[in-house]
Chain A
Amino acid sequence: MSIRRKVIGTLAIPVIVGVILEAICLAHGQNVITNMKSFNNFVVYTAIVMITTMALSINLNSGRFDFSLGSMAALSAVIGAKISYALLGGGSGSAYLMLAITIASGALLGLASGCVYVILRIPPIITSLGVTLIYEGVLYTITGGKYVMTEVQNVSMSGFVGTWIHAAVLILLIVVFVIFLFDHTRFGYNYNALRSGQKVAVNTGIREVPNAVGCYVVCGALMGIVGFLNAARNTNINGGQLNFGSIAIMFTAFLPMFIGSYIGRFSNDKLGYLLAAVCMSLLNSTFAVFSNSITASVQSIINAVLLVVFLIYLNNEDLLTRLFVTRGKQAGA
């Protein structure tokens, strides 16, 4: 594939999305990004979507459907919030301490989730449902079903998401880390080999269990960051997410995951997830511009329709290509 085609293929979707959304806003005398505050929100939301998408894709690309991502994010955030508040009382450095604790607790929750999967050896879709219920139950027990607010409402937390810089640094670090881990280490080579052909990879001596557990740990740590960013952005954590109430967070990542995988054909799938997250964030900013007329339920419908349309396109891509090529030839003749 030529470099020109790679560049065009990689940037086509985000550029087209950006142009269309900006045109819609301009038609109503607005812009997608209206001021510095909306730009900050744009970058923070991009970080949340990108990290969630990466966490979802790591296991899903290996055939492991993990419903527990949302519960890991919420529970690790509550653990981080409670401990950091107990130590610093919401004072200076609270956000950084909470971020560190949240990543660590997220990794531990991921480890536990991974261990349940490899020990029980039953389909991950089932174990992850069980783990979700357990984590939601623990979350509810810790919070009493209440929103956690005092612990995350302080200047340090609001300062973290009050500027685009922190989120941008997180995006950069995570993209570099994930590309390095999955594309340039033995762990990543094994992961890709297992993903491409599990039986062949195992027969060549690759140990599947440590790799799977490692994936869960990385997912947990990533969801810890998501939990932290959501807590800082929302200024609270919902402690009453029982009966799979935490699963919704996972579904926000489906559309960017498919878009990211598509973009990844032209470059790198991790870069694709970042650009897909940019697209989703542009869409989210556009919803904000029209917030008086586009309600939350309408936003959900639009997101769902876009997901279905994109999946229809992906499933019929060859058919469409053949159709256009045939017509082109007929026109040429």
Chain B
Amino acid sequence: MKNNRLFKAIMIGGVLAGAMAFTSVQAAAADLKIGVLVADVSGEEAQGFRAYYENYIADNYDVEFVYTDALEDAAGEKAAIEKFVSQGCQAIISLSSSDRATQLDTCEEYGVYYAIASGVLDDELFEAYKGYEYFAGQVGPSNATEFEAGVKMGEFFKEQGVTSVAMYGAFIPNPMHVFRAAGVIAGLGDTYGGTNDMGGMIGQIFADQKVDPAKVEGDVELCAYLQGYGDTTTDEINAVVAKEPEAFLSVGMATTFFTQILNEAGIPFADIDSFTEANGAAIKEGQLVYLAGKYSSSIGPVFALIKNAVDGNVIRDEEGNAPSFSQGYLVATDGASFDEYYVADNGDTPIYDKETLDTIIGEDVTYDDVKALVEAN
């Protein structure tokens, strides 16, 4: 009996030791460990980005990605960075923008490289932080690009002859959404608080913390407006549907939250999101008539900046500061134009595939190399 117990104990101990050894081998497998800060875990764009990193980049490079849950505030972002550091992450990629200044300060404090993959710092903030040692750079649509994306959406519907629209402000006062919303109003030919100047409009929207329909004036009426997502959102979107607008213009996330409702209501809608399968279905079979989007592998260059930095080649611009590259949006207005981008950037054949990324990963890569590639795509 005693021998039997001893045998069992040895067996259990052996299995545990084996499991621990296996785990340590697994943990040691990745040469580079990157923590990714995420605010949105459900959105089409966020899931496309994640799939690219986890299913393509992680398969083709010696890297492990660790993700946060949905971050809601600056404190959560700071705590997540500290947790990543304790888990041995050498770098942080940010897809969360509650407080990027604190993110940068925290990464600088702990000595981990940091890059922004969604949106960019505003000019003032970038000036303040571009010299940080561990700031590896930012790649994404600039604020002017965000505004322009909104303008084009507004102009599209203005040309269609709409006279009454509803609008979803997503997560205003998120700067990205503020710039897009201001652009939409300008594109519709309307003014906000008496101006259609970008600076004047965004200043007022930041101050209002929302788009106030009463301040929108012009030929196209803003008959309903909502923003955010919470307990009352369904009531608010139902109120929008009841007002029967000719179009529903969103500056982000509408395809995630409202596709079904808008399809059922027969209200044509537009969004700024990404080229994913679900959005393809919405534009081919539903009421999505305008999509300005990024493709999922557009975050490839950010990975390259981080990998170079960790490997010792910290890319810097001509003045020795962190690089900032602007990306534009692609626009689809029907199934064919959607497929043009979606098919080109899909699964095992992303636009930023390994062969392409390898041209900007390495000890000899320069700022100009990365700039040329980003601008070419």
B238 touches A38 (CB 8 A): yes
The answer on a CB contact under 8 Å between A289 and B239 is: yes
Task: State whether A147 touches B42 (Cβ < 8 A).
Answer: yes
| Chain A 122-156 near chain B by CB (<8 Å), digits 1 or 0 | 00000000000000000000001111011001000
Return the 7 tightest CB-CB contacts between A and B, nearest first. Answer: A288-B239, A291-B239, A296-B232, A147-B42, A235-B260, A153-B260, A38-B242
Can you identify 10 A-B contacts, CB atoms within 8 angstroms? A35-B242, A38-B238, A144-B41, A147-B257, A235-B259, A236-B257, A287-B235, A287-B239, A292-B214, A296-B236
Contact between B238 and A248, CB atoms less than 8 A apart: no
> Out of B236, B256, B260, which one reaches A291, CB within 8 Å?
B236
Central interface residue in B240, B242, B244, B265, by most chain A CB within 10 Å: B242
By beta carbon, the residue of chain A nearest B244 is A35
A41 touches B225 (CB 8 A): no
Set of chain A residues within 8 Å of B257, measured between Cβ atoms: 147, 235-236
- A37 within 8 Å of B by Cβ? yes
Q: Which residues of B contact A (CB under 8 A)?
A: 41-42, 69-70, 210, 213-214, 224-226, 228, 230-236, 238-244, 256-261, 264-265, 278
Residues of B within 8 Å of A293, CB to CB, are 214
A162 CB-CB contact with B under 8 Å: yes
How many interface residues does chain A have, given as a range? 20 to 34
B208: min CB distance to chain A, Å: 11
Shortest Cβ gap from A287 to chain B (Å): 7
Q: Which of A235, A299, A300 contacts B261 (CB under 8 A)?
A: A235
| Bound form: Cα–Cα A328–B212 in Å | 50
A-side contacts of B70, CB under 8 Å: 145, 240
Closest beta carbon of chain B to A183's beta carbon, Å: 33
Distance from A34 Cβ to chain B, minimum over Cβ atoms (Å): 5
Out of A149, A158, A236, A284, which one reaches B264, CB within 8 Å?
Answer: A158
Residue ID in chain A nearest B226 by CB atoms: A291
Q: Is the beta-carbon distance between B42 and A291 smaller than 8 angstroms? A: no
* A146 contacts B231, C-beta separation under 8 Å: no
Query: Is B41 within 8 A of A299, CB to CB?
Result: no
| Smallest Cβ-Cβ distance to B258: which chain A residue | A235
User: CB distance A233 to B234 under 8 Å?
Assistant: yes
Chain B residues, CB < 8 A from A145 = 41, 69-70
- A41/B238 contact (C-beta < 8 A), A158-B264, A162-B264, A292-B224 known: yes
Q: How far is the CA of A158 from the CA of B234 in the complex (A)?
A: 13
In angstroms, Cα B42 to Cα A295, docked, is: 25
Contacts of B224 in A (CB 8 A): 291-292
CB nearest to A234 among chain B residues: B234
**Complex interface residues of chain A between 213 and 236 (CB less than 8 A to chain B):** 233-236
Are the CB atoms of A284 and B213 closer together than 8 Å?
no
- A31 shortest CB reach to chain B, Å: 10
What chain A residues lie within 8 Å of B239 (beta carbons)? 287-289, 291
* A296-B241 CB under 8 A given contacts A145-B41, A145-B70, A240-B70: no
Interface centre among B70, B225, B226, B232 (most CB of A within 10 A): B232
Residues of A within 8 A of B225 (CB): 292
Q: Which residue of B lies closest to A161 (CB)?
A: B264
User: Chain A nearest CB: distance from B228 CB in Å?
Assistant: 7
Residues of B within 8 A of A284 (CB): 235
Tell whether A240 pairs with B242 under 8 Å between CB atoms, given A145-B69, A158-B260: no
* CB-CB nearest in chain B for A155: B264
Does the CB pair A153–B259 fall under 8 Å? yes
Add 12 more A-B contacts to A288-B235, A292-B214, A296-B232 (CB < 8 A). Answer: A34-B242, A37-B238, A37-B241, A41-B235, A147-B42, A158-B260, A158-B264, A287-B235, A289-B239, A291-B224, A296-B233, A296-B236
A85 to chain B: closest CB distance in Å?
14
Hey, which chain B residues are within 8 Å of A234, CB to CB? 233-234
Cα A146 to Cα B42 in complex, Å, equals 5
CA distance A175 to B118 in the complex (A): 51
Docked pose: A284 CA to B278 CA in angstroms: 32
The CA-CA distance from A32 to B228 in the complex, in Å, is: 24
Give min CB distance, A236 to chain B, whole Å: 7
Residue of A nearest to B41 (CB): A146
